[in-house]
Structure 1
Amino acid sequence: MINRRHFLTTVAVGTASAGVLAACGTGSSTSGQTGSAENPVTINYTWWGNDDRAERTRKAIALFEEKNPDIKVNGNFTDFAGYWQKRATEAAGGGLPDVMQWDLSYLRDYGQRNQLLDLGTVNINTDAFEKSLLPSGQIKGKTYGIPTSTNAFAVYYDPAKLASLGIAEPDGSWTYKEFNEFLTEVGTKSNGAIFGGTDYTGVWWMFNIWLRQNNIQAFTEDGKLGFTKDDLKKWWNLTADLRGTGAIVSEERVTQLAPKSPFGSNVTATEVTWDNFMAGYLADSGAKELKLAPVPSDDPDNLGLFLKPSMLMVASAKTKFKDAAARFIDFMVNDPEVGQIFKTSRGVPASKTQRDGTTFEGTDKLVVDYEKSIEKYLKDAPEPPIVGFGTLEASFKRIASDLNYGKLDINGATDAWFKEAEDLIKQNA
């Protein structure tokens, strides 16, 4: 899986002042005011990503400044892991940047602590957004995040690899048993040269989809776990017979290949992950073509799929420039020219205005077409996860990795994760 956490080290981009992330809300205007072309206010914007996203963001910022000469945007980015360390430090010191790219996993942590601006109090147009998507940026009736784009889970596969092994391409309808048999067939027919895939049970969001397929909530409204230990054991048992075989690549090999993914390294024929990683996978693997199929489900009428905000735009509750921040957010999520700059590199544009104003070809069209193909299966996006979810997601991956390594059995892994989860929930109650 392409991992946002393995991107470049911090690099500053943007206007002439880029490179120094100034203190939040520098400038002479009072709260909520903007400046003038002669005396623009400066807002700080930060995001995570790689050099490609930085270049696209630089172009979007330049376009915004051209259309809004009374506002300057000071841009800065870092890798995913470093990004949240910086935000935690800034939040503790009361100095979050004016506008930030955000991840759903961390929205409740900061929103519930009144560190993010209620965007319902400023002028941002959400008319062009699917109503089922907007709750993912809301907490207790207040809007803290506006989705820039959407992504959905999919099974990536390399048609050339399958053809070379004499394996038919999937038709997009398979049970977990059939999917496991498919992974096994790849490993067997390649004599171990290519693995079927990675251990998909180590991915939190795939587990979340499986829960939805079984009409089980991941979290309750009062912030508790909505599933049992038996549910998690069933999930981790799904690939028990595949571990240590040619069906799924070992965790040891995954670690050796990092920061590249096994799929991007041409070690596996499939990968289960978010659909907006297409361009990165093509670049890493050198494949001429990659395709997307829906995830497996034992209920053909319920694939458990949803559109998740691939990222959101938020503002600091302490910004001195609410109007400027709101104008920048509105521009980044709605402007059609911004859609043309980013295409699907952030995911499929969430705003219909931006989506309709964007031309999708080649790789981008594949992602857009996939999301259209699963429309009938889509259900409401989940609300922001519980406080501390980012930590729980990381521990899920780590403990599943220990399971794959053979360091823990399923009972031990389940007990270990539940203990961490329950301690964290108690701590944040």
Structure 2
Amino acid sequence: MFTTRKRSVFGGAAIIASAALVLGACASGDNGATPGEPVDPTVEEVTLNFAFWGNDVRAGFYNEALDAFMDEYPNITVNSTFLGFPEFWEARQIEAAGGGLPDVMQFDYSYMRQYSENGLLLDLGPYLGDIIDTSGISDEILSIGVVGGVTTGIATSTNAWGMYTNPILAEQLGVESYPGGGSWDDYNDWINEVSGQLDGHWGGTDWTGRIQNFEIQLRAEGGNLFTEDGQPGFDEARLLEFWQQGEAIRNGGAIPGQRLEEIAPVSGFDAALTLTELTWDNFGAGYLGNLGEPYTSLGLVEPPVHVEGARDLYLKPSMLHTISAGTDHPEAAALLVNFLVNSPEVGSIFGTNRGLPASQTQLAGANLGELDAQIRDYEASIADRLGDAPPVPIVGYGSIEETFRQIGAELGLGTITPEQAVERFFTEMNVILNN
């Protein structure tokens, strides 16, 4: 039986003992052990590759967490890499085609069905309750990682769609910060009014470039982006209506698309050029890290409302952790997933950078700072707008989301009309859906 310096990883000696049995039952065949004998990844020299998306702030957090893991398991070496979100998935697609996915991956919900149904992710069932402690994770959260009756991912945290504001910048510029809520027309009017008073700063970005804003409008109408059987929950006319809403701010109110190209990969909000940003609520730490002094705090308010009283928002997994089906070290990889999901020390390191921790064990270790408490309070404040989560994303959803973003960027640059954008989107979406 293997030993640990911190029993909290498994929640006690009894779980450690059962984990050793699992390690024996699920051992891969390349470790030199006699068949049937327990395999101890903390004795065997093991190297794991871990990949995530994010920025330098998140990378610093992961470095701390992985160092703590390797202190706990000195015979396991973890090599990590990170990219921006679009580039991360481009790299995974190339690796998937060549059979070389990283052992452990930070994973997005939108790609779960695609990778699971293609047999690219390891079935975590044999490790649940043993190597991967599930005692502090609710059944509802565990079900997020289930595709076709098989658990292939463990949610690290949950988050919700919201709007970040920069009250400090607003005060510097002598304008009022956006209060949150209101209608989308109200938000457009505010963007135009504020931007008209500024030189070199803007109220916000063209929000019609984000598919999530389209999604919450559809949810407010009682629909979803895609139905349970994978069909679009909208037609060309509805998408055209959405993209036309951005015309009110594309010619001066929103930060110009060309300016966004110049400052990429950071956003206008990261660069202290815009006063608002619609995004997932766990992005705050990254914003603060990129903004730096004197922007030591942010506002977090609810997004505009399409239909009053609608339950258009929902909690989603901000990310999950998965293991490649082709890993040579499934037991060691499961140890890493358990640590990243459950460790109180990891909770202390990340706070809510990945969203509110899904594991109560990890949440207990999270010292909620001002921003972390803001996120917790924000999610409580939108309780009357929280509805059921949408269907598990269809195969190809990640590619559809990226296509939407790219076309939205072209609308912002003025190189395409809304009518052309709709035609192109449906053409490319149909190719993705029928591939």
Cα-to-partner distance string for 1:265-311 (whole Å, 9 max, x where unaligned)? 22211111122222232233332331011010133322521222222
Deviation of 1:339 (Å): 0.4
CA distance in structure 2 between the partners assigned to 1:126 and 1:95 by the alignment: 28
CA distance in structure 1 between the partners assigned to 2:369 and 2:329 by the alignment: 38
Q: 2:248 aligns with which of 214, 218, 241?
A: 241
Deviation of 1:40 (Å): 4.4
Contact 1:25 1:319 (8 Å CA) reproduced: no
Asked whether 1:330 is paired with 2:338, we answer: yes
Tell me the secondary structure at the aligned position of residue 74 of structure 1.
strand
Change (3 A) 1:207 1:135: farther
Cross-structure match for 1:13: none
CA distance in structure 1 between the partners assigned to 2:210 and 2:42 by the alignment: 48
Deviation of 1:201 (Å): 0.6
Contact 1:133 1:381 (8 Å CA) reproduced: no
Tell me the secondary structure at the aligned position of residue 239 of structure 1.
helix
Cross-structure match for 1:137: 145
Q: AA paired with 2:281?
A: D
CA distance in structure 2 between the partners assigned to 1:295 and 1:164 by the alignment: 23
Q: AA paired with 1:56?
A: F
Q: 2:65 aligns with which of 47, 60, 71?
A: 60
Asked whether 1:103 is paired with 2:108, we answer: yes
Asked whether 1:209 is paired with 2:209, we answer: no
CA distance in structure 2 between the partners assigned to 1:383 and 1:229 by the alignment: 21
CA distance in structure 1 between the partners assigned to 2:185 and 2:29 by the alignment: 55
Deviation of 1:128 (Å): 3.0
Deviation of 1:112 (Å): 0.6
Contact 1:136 1:382 (8 Å CA) reproduced: no
Higher helix proportion, which one?
A: 2
Gaps of 5+ in 2: 1-27
The worse-fitting range, judged by mean Cα deviation, of 379-388 and 215-224 is: 379-388
Q: AA paired with 1:422?
A: N
Cross-structure match for 1:88: 93
Paired-residue identity, %: 38
Cross-structure match for 1:188: 196
Contact 1:42 1:74 (8 Å CA) reproduced: yes
CA distance in structure 2 between the partners assigned to 1:393 and 1:31 by the alignment: 46
Cross-structure match for 1:72: 76
CA distance in structure 1 between the partners assigned to 2:429 and 2:179 by the alignment: 37
Using the size of structure 2 for normalisation, the TM-score is 0.84
Q: 1:266 aligns with which of 268, 272, 288?
A: 272
Contact 1:172 1:293 (8 Å CA) reproduced: yes
Gaps of 5+ in 1: 1-23
Deviation of 1:359 (Å): 1.0
Cα-to-partner distance string for 1:33-56 (whole Å, 9 max, x where unaligned)? 532654344443332333433332
CA distance in structure 2 between the partners assigned to 1:360 and 1:234 by the alignment: 41
Cα-to-partner distance string for 1:252-274 (whole Å, 9 max, x where unaligned)? 11111212211122221111112
CA distance in structure 2 between the partners assigned to 1:157 and 1:290 by the alignment: 6
Contact 1:136 1:383 (8 Å CA) reproduced: no
Q: 1:151 aligns with which of 134, 159, 177?
A: 159
CA distance in structure 2 between the partners assigned to 1:125 and 1:299 by the alignment: 41
Matches within 5 A, 1:364-375: 364-375=372-383
Contact 2:76 2:332 (8 Å CA) reproduced: no
Contact 1:135 1:383 (8 Å CA) reproduced: no
CA RMSD of aligned residues (A): 2.6
Q: 1:316 aligns with which of 324, 341, 351?
A: 324
Contact 1:173 1:300 (8 Å CA) reproduced: no
Change (3 A) 1:36 1:238: closer
Cross-structure match for 1:50: 55
Q: 1:405 aligns with which of 402, 407, 413?
A: 413
Cα-to-partner distance string for 1:213-271 (whole Å, 9 max, x where unaligned)? 221111122222121112211211222222112x2111111111212211122221111
Contact 2:166 2:177 (8 Å CA) reproduced: no
Change (3 A) 1:41 1:27: farther
Cross-structure match for 1:198: 205
